[in-house]
Amino acid sequence: MHGFLKEIFTRQKFQGLFVNTALGNFAGYIAGSLVTLAWTHPALERRRISNLFGLLHRKKVVVHVLPHWLEWLFAVLIGFLVMEIVRYWFNRKRYDAFLSAVQPGTAQGDRSGNAREREAAVVELSDSPRG
């Protein structure tokens, strides 16, 4: 059991997991923040009684083009999509091997070398821990 755990939880796999997660989360956060910045803009306060009709200094006010809940929803959605794209980019070799193995045209009677390689890739993908 100890050997199995030692083989599964290697330093290289943990490093890959942490780098993948950190970069994916950071990219998602940046994308969500940029979405929020895209639908807001600063403006100067208008003349009114609170600033003595322009005699006092005007404050900068942030104007939201969309309602806050819709802006938040777009930020979360786009941030999630960017995070998943980064995760896919890191794991694209494993996904490509899996997708090539699942393609139609690999019938049970087809046991060529390529079919065996694809089958081995699927077994390797299913045996490896997600990360």
Judge whether 95 and 122 are in contact, CB under 8 Å: no
Tell me what pLDDT residue 126 has. 54
- Tell me the residue length of the chain: 131
Tell me what pLDDT residue 115 has. 58
How many CB atoms lie under 10 A from the CB of residue 101?
19
* 24 burial level (CB within 10 Å; 0-12, 13-18, 19+): buried
Judge whether 45 and 59 are in contact, CB under 8 Å: yes
What 8-state DSSP symbol labels residue 109? T
pTM greater than 0.75 = no
Tell me what pLDDT residue 122 has. 55
In angstroms, the CA 82 to CA 9 distance is 27
Q: Higher model confidence: residue 32 or residue 117? A: 32
In angstroms, the CA 19 to CA 24 distance is 8
In angstroms, the CA 38 to CA 22 distance is 24
How many CB atoms lie under 10 A from the CB of residue 62?
8
Tell me what pLDDT residue 118 has. 58
Statement: residue 119 has pLDDT above 70: no
Q: Higher model confidence: residue 13 or residue 123? A: 13
Statement: residue 113 has pLDDT above 80: no
Q: How confident is the model at residue 117 (pLDDT cuts 50, 70, 90)?
A: low
Reported as a single tens digit per residue, the pLDDT across 40-98 is 888 888 777 777 777 777 788 888 888 989 999 999 999 999 999 988 888 887 777 77
Reported as a single tens digit per residue, the pLDDT across 99-111 is 777 776 554 444 4
Average pLDDT over every residue of 13-26: 84
Block residue for tokens 């989360």:
25
